[in-house]
Amino acid sequence: MRLEQLLNEHTEQIVTKWFNALAGTYPLNTAQFLKSIPDTFANPVGNIARQSLRALFAELLAANDHKSLTASLDPLIRVRAVQTMFTPSQATAFVLELKPIVRQCIAETSLSPEVTADLKAFETRVDELLLLAFDVFVNCRETVYQIKASQEKSRFYRAFARAGLVREDPDADPDSASS
């Protein structure tokens, strides 16, 4: 039996454990909420996490390219990027939790050399996914900081304009406006 078949048989169990590991990175009350409320509208973060993890697992099994993995990873990492409680490593570390979960789920199966080789290749894809997650996280955080800087700039401009310290046309001669 190939690794892909083994993992397909355990998909639900693996994704659930992976989701629980991700939820465990949040404070206890938040983790309980994420796990207990399945409603999309009442718990959008939990819903995004479940959908993203399921899609990521499917992409990893299919050994798809970085573009497909990034598309599946993006919604979840965007959420974690705006949550200021996480450092970049904390926000992306959940990816590595998949490796021991997979090993635990297939531990009862005697692994042939072929399956062992497939497992090593799968774990390499998980490592690559971690690097993609880190890149997506950094890009998202950069965008958040750019938006914040732009908002601050705009706020100061409006304050200066209300105080009469800003001219509408900076190229106009200030002396000609008073004539």
Q: Is the pLDDT of residue 6 over 70?
A: yes
Task: Give the span between the Cα atoms of 110 and 3, in whole angstroms.
Answer: 11
- Split at pLDDT 50, 70, 90, the class of 173 is low
Residue 25: the pLDDT is 95
49 and 19 in contact (C-beta within 8 Å)?
Answer: yes
**For the chain, percent of residues with pLDDT exceeding 90:** 61
The whole-number average pLDDT for the span 142-156 is 84
- Split at pLDDT 50, 70, 90, the class of 179 is very low
Cβ contacts of 15 within 8 Å, gap of 6 or more: 50, 53, 54, 57
The whole-number average pLDDT for the span 40-52 is 93
Q: Is the pLDDT of residue 176 over 70?
A: no
Q: Which residue has the higher pLDDT, 98 or 146?
A: 98
The whole-number average pLDDT for the span 20-44 is 92
Q: The pTM is what?
A: 0.80
The whole-number average pLDDT for the span 38-53 is 92
